[in-house]
Structure 1
Amino acid sequence: MGSTKITNPSSPHFLQPLMTIDASISVFLHTFFKPILPAFLLLLLEYSADFRFSFPVSLSLFLASPSYSSLAIPLILGHLLDLALIGLIKLTFRRARPHYNPNMSPAVHADNFSFPSGHASRVLFLATLFHLIVQHNEDIVSDSIQRWIKFEPGFVMLGVWVWAIITATSRVLLGRHFFFDVLAGALVGALEGIVAYQFLRF
């Protein structure tokens, strides 16, 4: 795949100190953890939160049983909302990815840009939506967890949050994003989870 020249509009003058701090934090974390954490683990986290994996899983849940449709619909619509919103923000800010970002194959043009992190938004969306569903005693979810996974729903919810936070953090450690990209993506994702639970259930 040929190299693509990325245009990176100059940031407003008042943001320059913040961008410098962001870049310094990001390169420090990337450099410090790179020799410690195995690359395959970081890549596994990347693949686990990829839209091309999580969206088909959501569709499969919808098609599996009519009883899951009320839960699968906000999951599907939330994924689409996340894809559109993150793409719009990326194309608006057009922030280049870190210069030490390893070679990657963007799925769409917007993926060439760094702000905000789509993986971070996606995992926080999933964790927030799952948390709200379990917290409000959706019996079908609790029963399914105990039947198929044999764990208490609260324990599974903790595992989902740990996965989400580690995956979001791995975006900086892998060199895909700057630290503030991940924070912004996580905030967007959490808000998407709330919106999906409150307004996208049918």
Structure 2
Amino acid sequence: MGSPKTTTPSSRPFLHPIITLDATVSLFLHTLFKPILPTFLLLLLEYSADFRFSFPVSLSIYLASPSLSSLSIPLILGLLLDLALIGLIKLTFRRARPHYNPNMSPAVHADNFSFPSGHASRVLFLATLFHLILQNDVGLVSDFIRRWIKFETHFVLLGIWVWAIMTASSRVLLGRHFLFDVLAGAFLGVLEGIVAFRFLRF
């Protein structure tokens, strides 16, 4: 089976300086933090943000408590939107992952490509959506959090943002993505969160 076609700097010469800078900074960060941060922690963050984990959890929330549809429906639809959008962009740009990327088993063909980071878009989507829902909450979601998680909502929200930022950062530190892949994914994730909150609540 032939290897997938990838975008190289020579195919888009006007992007060459940006791609070179991105690759240099990303390798520097990966090399700098690899001896410091435990790999198992970075992998745990990676698994926690995997679509194959987050989507069943969102479905479980809806099935367990249909009254939380103001949270679960935009969550489910937003995750599907993210999956489709990231896959389409990856297949369009076909940027190769970092050459120092450890052995990685892609779940789908699009996962062979690096730009943008699906993990970064997913976690920033989740953080943005939760933030908007909790900031505009009529009480149902907050009551659910206090009842089952036993923490005030602002502590839960802070924890979600810390998790999201750490997970997005882990993509560069693990060597899965370049820095610009993560930044682009994060930007898309925030936009998806806003769209889901404004237009995908039923």
Would you say same fold, with TM above 0.5? yes
Partner residue of 1:5 out of 3, 6, 29: 3
Give the corresponding residue for 2:81: 81
User: Residue 110 of structure 1 aligns to a residue in which SS?
Assistant: helix
Distance 2:83 2:76 in 1: 11
Aligned residue-pair number = 200
User: What SS does structure 1 have at the residue aligned with 2:95?
Assistant: coil
- Distance in structure 2 (CA, Å) of the matches to 1:18 and 1:128: 28
Partner of 1:181: 181
Alignment of 1:95-174 (within 5 A): 95-174=95-174
Shift of residue 4, structure 1, vs aligned partner:
6.0
Q: Please give the alpha-carbon distance, in whole angstroms, between the structure 1 residues aligned to 2:182 and 2:53.
A: 20
> What is the CA RMSD across the aligned residues, in angstroms?
1.1
Which residue pairs with 2:192 in the alignment? 192
Alpha-carbon offset, residue 138 of structure 1: 3.5
Q: 1:39 to 1:4 in 2, by over 3 A?
A: farther
The amino acid of 1:20's aligned partner reads: T
Equivalent-residue separation in structure 2 for 1:177 and 1:124 (angstroms) = 16
Aligned match of 2:23? 23
* Residue matched to 1:47: 47
Tell me the SS of whatever aligns to 1:114: coil
Moved more, 152-161 or 176-185: 152-161
Alignment-derived partner of residue 60 in structure 1: 60
The letter for the 2-side match of 1:195 is V
Write the letter of the residue equivalent to 2:101: N
CA deviation string 1:62-110 (max 9, x = no partner) = 1012201232110000000000000000000000000000111111000
Q: Which runs of 4+ in 1 moved over 3 A?
A: none
Q: Deviations over 1:24-52 (max 9, x none)?
A: 00000000111111110000000000000
Normalising by the residue count of structure 1, what TM-score does the alignment of the two structures yield?
A: 0.96
Q: Which amino acid aligns with 1:8?
A: T
CA distance in 1, matches of 2:99, 2:199: 39
Q: Describe the superposition over 1:1-23 as per-residue Cα deviations: whole angstroms up to 9, x where unpaired.
A: xx862322334211100000000
Unaligned 5+ runs, structure 2: none
Percent same amino acid among aligned pairs? 77
Query: In the aligned structure 1, how far is the partner of 2:138 from the partner of 2:124?
Result: 20
Distance 2:99 2:67 in 1: 47
